[in-house]
Chain A
């Protein structure tokens, strides 16, 4: 029973994807052309427009994945695990991009790739945590146990973020390395720059939503594939009754 209405991409998603593309395009224009160069860092500041949204979304993705994991633990629906997994994949991708972005940004400004910047350290730890999540996923065959255990791991990962942030922050302050706040906090920002940044955050968030919607849609299809034993269903099986 293949239901084409289930396999086709829903219209709203296509429309949403096109709107996302437009927002990202405008954001790119804002970042590369509209935004003035930074007083201190010149054109390098344009990296921020990509880096900051990616970093924020990475953290949000961990939280969203953990929430979906909790929903799975509560309701036990396979689709919630697909959602949690899809979001975790995004979390991994975005946090790796954040680390790479932070390192490339750090090289020209501080002349070193790694500075133990608190936020970057935190993100690197998050990469390690989410990699652990996927290693465990790969090791468990039973889908239900896999879903339960990985939901639990993501909850622990989420709980670790504030502590790791504190630790990373305090670690740095005791080794007072020269550090630049990549999100520009503490610096009064040019209003144009702030607007462009927020536009890019919006674009990035829309890309994220589009990405996981597609991922969840594909996951839902493979979930339907998995129900091979359903073929056994419908065959009348006797109830063995010992009364």
Chain B
């Protein structure tokens, strides 16, 4: 990439918008995932009996089962949320930036 193109793109407001919004979005989701997972792990480390509590009076199923499956499903949902926004909004912005970089 030529330096003048670098300078042009880096000052393009669309590019600034893209990188700012996306990086905030990606970091937020990363932190959500880290909190969910390490929260789960820390409960196991510090208070494992919490997950061993029966779901309701007299049931064998413990709180840990829906929580564990919930962690798996949350991973899938978080990727879905990211892909939906990135393949729509972010890719439209990227296309605009690319068009300007090539066109002008």
Q: Do A and B associate with each other?
A: no
